[in-house]
Structure 1
Amino acid sequence: MKVIVVGGGIIGCLTACMLKQRGVDCVVLERNTPGHEASWAGAGILCPIHPWLYPDDFSRFVDDSLMLFPQLREQMEQATGVDIQYIESGLMIPEFESDLVSHRDAALAWSRKFNWEVEALSVEETMLMEPSLNGAQLKSSLRWPKVSQLRNPRLLRAVQAWMRQLLIPCVENCHVDCLLESSCGVTGVQDSKGQKYEGDAVLLACGSWSGELAEKWGCSLPVKPVKGQIVLLHGPVGTLHHIVKHDDAYFVPRSDGRVLVGASMEYVGFKKGNTPEVVQALLHAMLRIAPGLKDAEIEHQWMGFRPGSPDGMPYIGPVESRKGLWVASGHYRNGVCLAPATAVMVSRWMTGEAVPEYMHSFLPGRISTASETLGYPEF
């Protein structure tokens, strides 16, 4: 069996590795440089934004994916020597007097249902752990001590090194154009230069570009780019200890004193670049939520295009109307978090093995109900 993987981000590359381990030949086709879009730009938080707002099947998928990370990390580090800086930093959600929405009750109920260890902290307990927060406005907080993070660029470096060891070819700057088909189904793809890549199946995993390519192939896949901007601060090590999430911004502390402040949600197509207005909005949110970071140096800023979907959930599985065409896209803000389970499930599914029933909630042909809180941002 041979699979043509369209897309060289974390989803496409890791799935190719899992397929190869199951004896499937793969080639990865990437429109630019592998792993330099949303996979690289993300913050590496291994927990969805507000998982209690999603259907239960999404949480089951998240749990299965997170359970795979320790083994995957060990396997990749032994094979490649690349440290992905997987750190159990914990997650904290502070609640302030000025907040318009309280997530406390829903978050606690979800945590009990899915057995996520959580602590309800007082103002004093919160400030003892995170003195950089705005104690004057703080009401309380929730803390999940087992939530982890990693460095996206390091994860991609490890996966790409693993691909090379597994002898999986990756063709860069390959703009896939046509879907090749016969009376038996999909047989491959052709790029914009006329080069054909033939196989037994095609996996569409090119992130934010998946929707427009699927449309070109006559398929409905409502995946669209949602731009996110991030600011990188650099201050003393230990200024912030936990990942801190709030409706206005999140903060991810690295072990070297750097802190990621993110991230905007902009429905502007593929318009690149950082903008002063958004960067200032993120910094103002920092001053409201974590004023202890105010003296940190602004070191860098960047952006990426998340593959958004109407309901915030990914599209994974076979396309019913096109035999041999599979999809793994639309992971939105949860691509890295869901990458291990996506790769494992898709590799099993494509080679004829059964997958959990919950995976059918992510089928490409499902009816996606638009969600203002989880899906595309409103403007």
Structure 2
Amino acid sequence: MKTFYDAGIVGGGVIGLMSAYFLSKAGLKVAIFEKGKIGCGASSAAAGMLGAHTETEKADAFFRFAEESGALYPALAADLLEETGIDIQLVYNGMLKLAMTAEEAVSLKDRALNEPDVEWLSRESVLKKERNLTEYLQGGLFIAKDGQVSPPALCRALARAVQINGGTIFEGAAAGRMRAEPSHYEISAAGETHFCEALVITGGTWSGPLFEGLGISAPVHPVKGECLSVMPDGFRLASTVFHDSCYLVPKSDGSIVIGATMEKGNWRAEPTIQGMASLMEKAVSIMPCMKKSVFQKAWAGLRPAARDAKPYIFKHEGMKNLYAATGHYRNGILLAPKTGEMVRDLILSRQVKPEYAREFGLNRGTEVKS
């Protein structure tokens, strides 16, 4: 017997799950095809930070999208808890973005003057919040609105909610042939052929080959990121701390996640001695007492990145009912709710902000970030 779905979603990371969640909540019959386990890729490797200010210093369309997405989390967390009983561990503990030199201090002070949601704190004020920071501290920005979630809990909650809302999840189901028919798509996965009116590519790092199979040029490459978790000795970190591309993220059990390295083009999702050494060195330079922390575990993930480091979120103009949401790079957790909403709105022909359609469209400019 043939089974038809309103939307077939290829990729079961946080972006595919969030897209399926919003579509199923809108009454669509959805199926997710995941080649491994749900949420097992870059999504589970993320630290879970929700901080638009960390990723950009420009108040552009990307920043506005990130802020709107982050603002969706309180209602989303409450809804998921009610629907599934799973707590995604949303907390707003703020972020300290540190200055270690006079030049960094000047730059961060300028940001505080121009951005309403950030506050410049003197060295003394920062140390009142986190007394164990380095002697080289000059001050820092405090971003009270920044928070975090648990990515594994988020993925579990979304998967359960999709199923509660009538969706189907296929694990160990790599999408083989995807063929466009006049009225639907045929997807070969898990030894069967599935029929979907709309096809949504949310395959993360593996979206590139999926696009190529459909005759679409939208390169996505891996940027390997490594993290580790430690248990501090004799202190607790209150806020997320960030400096020199290194973050220290306090978790509810008292542990601290340290991340993350960046290595373009590496397809091996395994931690290395070199990566761990780099992270440990940076962490100790930020907070010297970290050297006494007890190592817990290390892991790695492959962030999917487009050439300009912005995600693809689009409806293909030349192929009927083909959509994509991928390439979210370092911001998958932060951008997931707004991305899910945008995918839903594109499929249901609802209004999408023109600036977002331009910013994340397939045919945007190809300028490469240095």
Q: TM-score range by the shorter chain?
A: over 0.9
Alignment match, 1:120: 120
In the alignment, residue 123 of structure 1 is paired with which amino acid? R
Structure 1 segment 39-188 matched on structure 2, within 5 A: 39-48=43-52, 50-54=54-58, 56-97=60-101, 103-105=107-109, 107-108=111-112, 111-112=115-116, 116=117, 118-134=118-134, 136-182=135-181, 184=182, 187-188=185-186
Alignment match, 1:376: none
CA contact (8 A) 2:316 2:323 kept: yes
The offset of 1:216, in angstroms, is: 2.4
The offset of 1:352, in angstroms, is: 1.1
CA contact (8 A) 1:187 1:200 kept: yes
The offset of 1:273, in angstroms, is: 1.3
Residues 1:109 and 1:179: Cα distance change in structure 2 (over 3 Å): farther
Deviations 1:64-121 (A, max 9, x none): 1122111111000011111111111100011103877974156335523xxx2x2111
Alignment match, 1:304: 301
Residues 1:106 and 1:222: Cα distance change in structure 2 (over 3 Å): farther
CA contact (8 A) 2:33 2:170 kept: yes
Q: Is 1:206 paired with 2:203? A: yes
TM-score (norm 2): 0.93
Structure 1 segment 206-355 matched on structure 2, within 5 A: 206-235=203-232, 239-355=236-352
Residues 1:211 and 1:283: Cα distance change in structure 2 (over 3 Å): same
Deviations 1:21-71 (A, max 9, x none): 212111100011111111111000001463434561011111211221111
Residues 1:250 and 1:102: Cα distance change in structure 2 (over 3 Å): farther
Give the gaps of 5 or more residues in structure 1.
373-379
Q: Is 1:358 paired with 2:349? A: no
Give the gaps of 5 or more residues in structure 2.
none
In the alignment, residue 166 of structure 1 is paired with which amino acid? N
In percent, how many aligned pairs have the same letter?
Answer: 30
In the alignment, residue 257 of structure 1 is paired with which amino acid? G
Counterpart Cα distance in 1 of 2:59 and 2:361: 14
Counterpart Cα distance in 1 of 2:261 and 2:151: 18
Residues 1:245 and 1:102: Cα distance change in structure 2 (over 3 Å): farther
Counterpart Cα distance in 1 of 2:280 and 2:243: 14
Counterpart Cα distance in 2 of 1:295 and 1:99: 30
Residues 1:208 and 1:110: Cα distance change in structure 2 (over 3 Å): farther
In the alignment, residue 142 of structure 1 is paired with which amino acid? L
The offset of 1:187, in angstroms, is: 1.9
The offset of 1:368, in angstroms, is: 2.4
SS at structure 1 position matched to 2:148: coil
In the alignment, residue 354 of structure 1 is paired with which amino acid? Q
Greater shift in the superposed pair: 160-169 or 93-102: 93-102
Deviations 1:137-168 (A, max 9, x none): 11111101121111111111111111221121
Deviations 1:154-190 (A, max 9, x none): 11111111122112111111111222113x3752322
SS at structure 2 position matched to 1:334: helix
Counterpart Cα distance in 1 of 2:366 and 2:110: 23
TM-score (norm 1): 0.91
Deviations 1:264-323 (A, max 9, x none): 011133113111011001000011111122211011000111111222211001122222
SS at structure 2 position matched to 1:199: strand
Runs of 4+ in 1 over 4 A off after TM superposition: 98-103
Deviations 1:178-210 (A, max 9, x none): 22113x3752322384x3221111000011111
Alignment match, 1:191: 189
Counterpart Cα distance in 2 of 1:98 and 1:223: 38
Counterpart Cα distance in 1 of 2:75 and 2:260: 29
Q: Is 1:3 paired with 2:7? A: yes
CA contact (8 A) 2:88 2:154 kept: yes
Counterpart Cα distance in 1 of 2:110 and 2:223: 26
Deviations 1:213-257 (A, max 9, x none): 112221111211111000101125852111111124111001211
Greater shift in the superposed pair: 334-343 or 156-165: 156-165
